[in-house]
Homo-oligomer: A and B are copies of this chain.
Amino acid sequence: MAESIRGRLSDLRRDLHRYPEPGWCEFYTTARLVEELEDLDVDEIAVGAEAYDPDDRMAVPAADELDEWFDRARDRGADPGLLERMAGGNTGVVAVLDRGEGPTVGLRVDIDGLYVEEAADGDHAPTAEGFRSETGETMHACGHDVHMTWGLAALEAIEERGFAGRLVVFFQPAEEVSGGGYPMAESGYAADLDYLLAAHVGLDHPTGEVVAGIERPLAMCHVDATIRGTAAHAGKAPQDGDNAIQALGTAIQNAYGIPRHADGMTRVNVGRVEGGTASNVVAERVEAVAEARGETTELMEYAKDRLRRTFETAAEMHGCAADVEVVSESPRADSDPELVDVVADVARGVDGVDAVVPTADFGASEDATFLMRRVQEAGGLASYLVVGTDHPTSHHTPTFDVDERSLETGVEVLAGSILAVAEDPP
């Protein structure tokens, strides 16, 4: 790849890095993607509700948060007509290249940022080189800026190199909250995929290493639990209260005690709690944000059911009622060995790749698994690959950054793999 191309990839990634938006609020980001896509020779561009059923979205934030980011995108100069098509949080875009006979191949990249305030000191490269987040409160701290760059550049490369078949690139919103994978998987665009590739940068793999297909992502669900009781004066009439905080204490204690399962790993966490008003009032209402994970979808369901029962009975014990809402979830899906082999072969031939790991455990969760399962259930093959990068600190921290050499590597591995399956279907 020529130096100029490298520079273009870097410019694009840095531009996207400057304006990270949270899940279902990627208004400006989507508009930027559409702008880029319109410069390419793409056959079809479906924005928001054109690509998926908005009712399938999960973990959509409240209207005021949507509105705020919508307004900010408009103020930053996003095309008003495009913004209109995303009204209400229907962000994301699907781009299609339709080039005659051949398999249908999907590529999924995610586009949302995180509520992490990016490091401002000079040791942090994005700050030193002038592309630090400009939102003040959000950051591409998980590398989705890289993923979007990969998606655009792989599309361009394939278009340029020629390709017989149909390529569908999913620029998926709301991965961090497991909210966008499901609507994309339910979309008509995902209906007839013969192959699906998804990709992530880093994940503790160094520059030069490629994992051809990960295994064992944890199935996961996010849960919002609200416990409603009855307020009372804690000094004068404690017996008149139905103490939501006491119920919460019971629920927390027992949630972590949900039995381990012989079939594999489970996880439970209550990650945030808030409730009650003052020291002298028996708390009327508390909210907890929790999650359950499992090595398989069944194990996640097991933990989720127990978590629900725990909150409900803890509430009942204290005369309260619990409302346990599953905000979002993602299943487990493993990479298919046949497709993993293709990716591994391609990766071995890519400049700068010095280690190809056939497969590795994922250890966390990803809602690309909805798309993978959709494809696999219809008889297709899927693989979720990792392109290593030297990252100075962990994902999701204020000082996360990538080695930009991974930009080109990712494009080559993805474009090469797509072309390979089109030419010689595994």
Please report A residues at the B interface, Cβ cutoff 8 Å.
218, 220, 222-223, 233-241, 243, 245-246, 248-257, 259-263, 265-267, 269-283, 286, 289-291, 293, 302, 309-310, 313-314, 316-318, 363-365, 396
Question: Which residues of chain B are near A291, meaning CB under 8 Å?
Answer: 234-235, 279-280
Question: Which residues of chain B are near A241, meaning CB under 8 Å?
Answer: 259
CB distance from A102 to the nearest CB of B (A): 38
Q: A236-B364, A238-B260, A239-B259 are in contact. List 12 more A-B contacts (CB 8 A).
A: A234-B267, A234-B271, A239-B260, A246-B257, A246-B270, A249-B253, A256-B257, A256-B259, A269-B281, A271-B276, A272-B278, A278-B289
Q: How far is the CA of A4 from the CA of B129 in the complex (A)?
A: 75
Question: Which residues of chain B are near A314, meaning CB under 8 Å?
Answer: 313, 317
Q: List 26 A-B contacts (CB under 8 A).
A: A218-B235, A223-B279, A233-B364, A234-B267, A235-B267, A235-B291, A235-B293, A245-B270, A246-B257, A249-B256, A250-B250, A252-B252, A253-B254, A255-B257, A257-B257, A260-B260, A260-B267, A269-B280, A269-B281, A271-B276, A271-B278, A272-B277, A272-B279, A273-B274, A273-B286, A274-B275
Residue of B nearest to A267 (CB): B235
Nearest first, the 10 A-B pairs at minimum CB distance are A249-B252, A256-B257, A234-B269, A272-B276, A313-B317, A279-B291, A271-B279, A238-B259, A239-B261, A249-B253
Question: Which residues of chain B are near A282, meaning CB under 8 Å?
Answer: 259, 269, 271
CB distance from A35 to the nearest CB of B (A): 31
A279, B274: Cβ atoms under 8 Å? no
A271, B277: Cβ atoms under 8 Å? yes
Given contacts A249-B252, A279-B291, A317-B254, contact A235 B274 (CB under 8 A): no
